[in-house]
């Protein structure tokens, strides 16, 4: 007589997919320790759509009866819409894959028992995560490009404001505010590009690898790939279930994105200090102090900076989780999801917050102009002029250094020295005052990518083109057939099969 198995497959309280060879119950502490449902529930949509595509393929390939395939697809669609509508709670199973299959079995009975034919949770989870990430990458890129548009509008709205440019956080050379803002736009544009690259490598189907070796059933992986909107199939079954480089790459791309947001946030924090006063932040994104009534803190910007470190941590989690693992699937890999989800959530929240911070930012022209005084930032212009007029640059640097001392000792700006004073240093510099004004210095930076107004105008138009290009990429992404209720996902013999 057969021993009773540990769990009946339709035991709703703790559905398992592997009861047969076990005699005793799983220790509840270990069950709680090993479950991934509390976090992989987030993959429900990807998991159900993946199962719909798989069941469709099983039916079309004649691996399961067409009626069973049709029943599975109908049942799965029903489950998906109920979860979407909040009518079905995801609970009582080891993981999301188990939950979906057990729920389907409760609803349609035996036909559901054929769903896991030619499939393993190993290729299933890899598929789910890739499917999910593709969707999230598109959303993150959408938010990145939206933020680029905010920066673009700010740059366009301040075409002639000049700010001090810094090196070592010491005033260095004046630049256009638009130029400074566009620097961040280009960073974000590369972030979008990195995410698009990750998308391309994530866009390959693991399903069909089964546990690790492939399967003996006559499956059609290309069909599943096309139903799920994957560009192709992963050519090696071990690689398909064992690697998570796409998750590492995604998190790395988000870590770089967060580093960029964090630098912008750090500048906003600095600029909003009384000492700088370059910007006023909206009340709606600032917070107060519980003890100091006068305080207005740039909390949102500080937290964007702070949250960047979480994603660095997520990246380290993924890399160190993967690096010691022998092929193929190992349970360690279950730890990938929380790191990836955290990177996703942090990216969305931070991009959204930065958008609001920038929407409400007001540049304080007077304070900025006041900071153009005192830094003697026109000095490089004077040295460049001397060199252009024949003096070796080293000599010119030395001479202007003495002019700087002269002006500093008298508490005057380089643009306030008279032509006679300049002539005393060198006759070539009679027009020194003019050259050394912030506007003069900025106007001279005509090299490609420089801060001269004409160059910045060119940059603005290049930036508009870059934004448009990303928007077209987003608009051109086709929805996977399986997402469309009525389309290709109906089981039944495929034409010519």
Catalytic residues: 168, 289
Give the shortest CB-49-to-ligand ARG separation in angstroms.
Answer: 17
Long-range contact pairs involving 17-20 (C-beta distance under 8 Å, separation at least 24): 17/94, 17/97, 17/98, 17/101, 17/116, 17/121
* Residue 207 binds ligand ARG, judged by CB under 6 A: no
Degrees to nearest 5, angle at CA 182 with 176 and 185:
165
Give the shortest CB-339-to-ligand ARG separation in angstroms.
Answer: 12
Q: Which helix (H) or strand (E) holds 171?
A: strand 170-176
Cα 223 from chain centroid (whole Å): 30
Which among 246, 431, 432 has a CA at the least distance from the CA of 339? 246
Q: Which helix (H) or strand (E) holds 314?
A: helix 299-322
- Per CB under 6 A, the segment of 224-232, 293-301, 327-335, 442-450 that binds ligand ARG is 327-335
Closer residue to ligand ARG, CB minimum distance, 241 or 300: 241
Give the shortest CB-121-to-ligand ARG separation in angstroms.
Answer: 4
Burial class (CB in 10 A: 0-12, 13-18, 19+), 146: middle
Which residue, chain included where needed, has tokens 């680029």? Answer: 148
- Helix (H, G, I), strand (E, B), or coil: what is residue 204? strand
Structure tokens that stand for 440 in this block: 């003069």
The answer to whether 230 and 204 have CB atoms below 8 angstroms apart is: yes
Closer residue to ligand ARG, CB minimum distance, 47 or 220: 47
**Applying CB under 6 A, what is the total number of residues that bind ligand ARG?**
11
Residue 363's φ and ψ, nearest 5 degrees, are -85, 135
Q: Which of 250, 329, 415, 422 binds ligand ARG (CB under 6 A)?
A: 329
Structure tokens that stand for 314 in this block: 């997520």
Q: Which of 121, 221, 244, 305 binds ligand ARG (CB under 6 A)?
A: 121
- Per CB under 6 A, the segment of 48-56, 104-112, 118-126, 249-257 that binds ligand ARG is 118-126
Q: Which of 9, 15, 16, 36 binds ligand ARG (CB under 6 A)?
A: 36
Closer residue to ligand ARG, CB minimum distance, 36 or 173: 36
Closer residue to ligand ARG, CB minimum distance, 47 or 191: 47
Closer residue to ligand ARG, CB minimum distance, 130 or 455: 130
Q: Which of 7, 15, 16, 40 binds ligand ARG (CB under 6 A)?
A: 40
Classify the C-alpha dihedral 129-134-135-137 as positive or negative. positive
Site track 331-350 with ligand ARG (rule: CB under 6 A), x = hit: x-xx--x-------------
Number of alpha carbons in the 13 Å side-chain half-sphere of residue 328: 19
Give the shortest CB-312-to-ligand ARG separation in angstroms.
Answer: 23
Structure tokens that stand for 21 in this block: 């060879």
Structure tokens that stand for 242 in this block: 């064992």
* Residue 230 binds ligand ARG, judged by CB under 6 A: no
Name the DSSP class of 437: S
Give the shortest CB-337-to-ligand ARG separation in angstroms.
Answer: 6
- Binding positions for ligand ARG, 418-437, rule CB under 6 A: none
Closer residue to ligand ARG, CB minimum distance, 9 or 453: 9
* Residue 119 binds ligand ARG, judged by CB under 6 A: no
Site track 83-102 with ligand ARG (rule: CB under 6 A), x = hit: ------------x-------
- Per CB under 6 A, the segment of 329-337, 356-364, 443-451, 470-478 that binds ligand ARG is 329-337
Closer residue to ligand ARG, CB minimum distance, 115 or 354: 115
* Residue 127 binds ligand ARG, judged by CB under 6 A: no
* Helix residue spans in 35-94 (DSSP H): 37-40, 44-60, 66-84
Report the C-alpha gap between 156 and 153 in whole angstroms.
5
Q: What is the DSSP string of 415-454?
A: GGS-HHHHHHH-GGGTTHHHHTSHHHHHHT--STT-SSHH
- Per CB under 6 A, the segment of 121-129, 352-360, 385-393, 432-440 that binds ligand ARG is 121-129
Classify the C-alpha dihedral 247-249-255-260 as positive or negative. negative
Closer residue to ligand ARG, CB minimum distance, 83 or 279: 83
The answer to whether 243 and 318 have CB atoms below 8 angstroms apart is: no
Percent of the chain that is helix, strand, coil (3-state, to 5): 65, 5, 30
* Residue 125 binds ligand ARG, judged by CB under 6 A: yes
Residues that bind ligand ARG (CB under 6 A): 36, 40, 95, 121-122, 125, 329, 331, 333-334, 337
């Amino acid at each position: 007589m057969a021993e009773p198995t540990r769990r009946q497959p339709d035991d709703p309280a703790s559905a398992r997919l592997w009861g047969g060879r076990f005699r005793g119950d799983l220790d509840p502490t270990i069950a709680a320790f090993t479950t991934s449902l509390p976090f992989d529930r987030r993959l429900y949509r990807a998991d159900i759509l993946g199962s719909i595509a798989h069941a469709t393929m099983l039916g079309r390939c004649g691996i399961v009866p067409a009626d069973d395939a049709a029943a599975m697809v109908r049942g799965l669609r029903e489950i998906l819409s109920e979860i979407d509508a909040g009518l079905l709670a995801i609970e009582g199973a080891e993981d999301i894959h188990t939950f979906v299959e057990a729920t389907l079995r409760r609803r349609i009975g035996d036909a559901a028992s054929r769903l896991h034919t030619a499939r393993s949770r190993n290729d299933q989870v890899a598929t789910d995560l890739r499917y999910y990430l593709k969707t999230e990458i598109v959303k993150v890129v959408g938010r990145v490009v939206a933020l680029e548009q905010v920066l673009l509008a700010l740059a366009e709205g301040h075409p002639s404001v000049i700010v001090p440019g810094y090196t070592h956080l010491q005033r260095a050379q004046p630049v256009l505010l638009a130029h400074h803002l566009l620097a961040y736009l280009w960073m974000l544009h590369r972030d979008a590009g990195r995410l698009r690259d990750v998308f391309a490598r994530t866009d390959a189907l693991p399903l069909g690898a089964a546990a690790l070796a492939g399967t003996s059933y006559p499956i059609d992986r290309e069909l599943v790939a096309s139903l799920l909107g994957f560009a192709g199939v992963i050519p090696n079954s071990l690689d398909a279930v064992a690697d998570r480089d796409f998750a590492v790459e995604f998190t790395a791309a988000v870590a770089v994105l967060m580093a960029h947001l964090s630098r912008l946030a750090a500048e906003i924090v600095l600029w909003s200090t009384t000492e700088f006063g370059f910007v006023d932040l909206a009340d709606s994104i600032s917070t107060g102090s519980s003890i100091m009534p006068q305080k207005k803190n740039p909390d949102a910007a500080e937290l964007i900076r702070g949250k960047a470190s979480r994603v660095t941590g997520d990246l380290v989690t993924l890399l160190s989780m993967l690096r010691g693992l022998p092929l193929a699937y190992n349970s360690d890999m279950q730890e990938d999801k929380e790191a990836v989800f955290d990177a996703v959530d942090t990216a969305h929240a931070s991009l959204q917050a930065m958008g609001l911070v920038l929407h409400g930012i007001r540049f304080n022209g007077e304070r900025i102009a006041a900071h153009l005084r005192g830094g003697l930032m026109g000095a490089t212009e004077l040295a460049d002029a001397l060199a252009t007029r024949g003096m070796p640059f080293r000599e010119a640097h030395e001479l202007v250094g003495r002019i700087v001392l002269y002006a500093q000792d008298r508490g005057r700006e380089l643009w306030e020295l008279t032509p006679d004073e300049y002539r005393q240093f060198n006759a070539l510099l009679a027009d020194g005052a003019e050259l050394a004004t912030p506007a003069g210095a900025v106007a001279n930076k005509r090299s490609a990518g420089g801060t001269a107004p004409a160059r910045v105008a060119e940059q603005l138009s290049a930036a508009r083109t870059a934004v448009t290009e990303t928007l077209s990429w987003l608009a051109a992404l086709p929805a996977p057939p399986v997402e469309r209720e009525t389309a290709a996902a109906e089981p039944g013999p495929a034409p010519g099969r």
